[in-house]
Structure 1
Amino acid sequence: MNTAELLADAYGRIKEVVHDAVEGLTTGELADRLDPEANSVGWLVWHLTRVQDDHVSEAAGHPQTWTEGGWDQRFGLPFDADDIGYGHSADEVAELAAATADLLTGYYDAVHERTLAYLATLTDADLDTVVDRRWTPPVTLGVRLVSVISDDLQHAGQAAILRGILLRRRG
């Protein structure tokens, strides 16, 4: 297994958790929040997908799937096209109330496929390329890709926990 294959495997694990977290949930359950300030399953999945789309697209030098694939229009959210959800208020989290499981996984799958296609082009040497000099030390491509994996798995895990709570509430 080479490094690109290892990264593809890690991103594949995110996909599994995302699909498991939303499968069978109603639109209402996807929007449900444990308290008025909490994130919903739908928002968490949308956000982790936006982060992956934004960060991987920037590294790959191609437009985001969000706009290029028309997902911004399908979701119909009142956010700027470059909004990834970082720092969203409780009211902004509530804007995801109409997102369906199919819409969320459709967007995620489109981003995932594009991520895998990009990863397949990488060599080990590419991972040492500096992609962000705003940090000390500067961020390399390898660090950026692992950072996205870490962030996405955390949010996918949060969505999975919420799913379990929601299913117990169903009775």
Structure 2
Amino acid sequence: MQDIELYAELIESLSKWAHLEVEGLSERELAWQPDAEGNSIGVTVWHFSRWLDVVARLLDGRKPAEELWLTRGWAERTGYNPQGIGEKGLGAVTGYTLEEVAAIPPLSAQDLLMYLDQLCEVICTFLRSLPSSEPLQQPIYPGAELTKQQMLQTVFLGSCGHLGEIEALKAMMKRAGK
């Protein structure tokens, strides 16, 4: 199996795992926080989905205005454009203040998973269109130290970690009787 097919299958598995953890959760369950500074399940799913949106854009060499959050109508539908917020203005929760996290619009489990699925489909289509894994060895942008492959690996592993975090949040919520 080629590297790119393995990456595509791992991204598809990430989406399936997210569905198992999030599908059917109520608005209350998605919004539950273990404490005032802890992220909810909804914010956590949106966070790693936003990072995948950034990855999808950088893999394909597109501009920030071409991220799916904007092009698929999510910003318009929610009235929320995250660009310019947080670390490097990426709008992916990393580097957000508590107030900025609180401003993220709550989405239903169905909408969170739809956004994630759109991203996974775009990334997998891009990966499967590559003739080899060689283009993944290029820097994410000219002069960057990080390659596209390193970025993809980092965000994929982070997303897996966040799915583990969601499992822990669900267990804590159950123990708290919420």
Short-chain TM bin: 0.7 to 0.9
Task: Compute the displacement of 1:166 (Å).
Answer: 2.5
| Structure 2 counterpart of 1:156, from 152, 155, 163 | 163
Task: Compute the displacement of 1:76 (Å).
Answer: 2.8
CA contact (8 A) 2:58 2:148 kept: no
Structure 2 CA distance, aligned partners of 1:134 and 1:155?
30
RMSD of Structure 2 on Structure 1 (CA): 2.1
Amino acid at match of 1:114: V
Aligned to 1:57: 57
Task: Compute the displacement of 1:118 (Å).
Answer: 0.6
Task: Compute the displacement of 1:170 (Å).
Answer: 4.7
| Structure 1 counterpart of 2:151, from 131, 144, 147 | 144
Structure 1 CA distance, aligned partners of 2:151 and 2:82?
25
Percent identity, aligned pairs only? Answer: 28
| Structure 1 counterpart of 2:140, from 131, 140, 152 | 131
Amino acid at match of 2:40: S
Q: Which runs of 5+ in 1 are unaligned?
A: none
TM-score, length basis structure 2: 0.84
Q: SS of the counterpart of 1:162?
A: helix
Structure 2 CA distance, aligned partners of 1:140 and 1:80?
23
Moved more, 115-124 or 75-84: 75-84
Q: SS of the counterpart of 1:29?
A: helix
Structure 2 CA distance, aligned partners of 1:88 and 1:8?
30
Amino acid at match of 2:99: D
Q: SS of the counterpart of 2:140?
A: strand
Q: Deviations over 1:13-57 (max 9, x none)?
A: 211221122122111210110000001000000010000111221
Structure 2 CA distance, aligned partners of 1:145 and 1:13?
14
| Structure 1 counterpart of 2:83, from 80, 88, 92 | 80
Moved more, 23-32 or 155-164: 155-164
Structure 2 CA distance, aligned partners of 1:134 and 1:36?
40
Structure 1 CA distance, aligned partners of 2:153 and 2:110?
27
Aligned to 2:43: 43
Structure 2 CA distance, aligned partners of 1:144 and 1:85?
17
Task: Compute the displacement of 1:100 (Å).
Answer: 0.7
Amino acid at match of 2:151: R
Q: SS of the counterpart of 1:88?
A: coil
Amino acid at match of 1:126: P
Aligned to 2:74: 71
Structure 2 CA distance, aligned partners of 1:97 and 1:30?
12
Q: SS of the counterpart of 2:129?
A: coil
TM-score, length basis structure 1: 0.87
Structure 1 CA distance, aligned partners of 2:78 and 2:116?
13
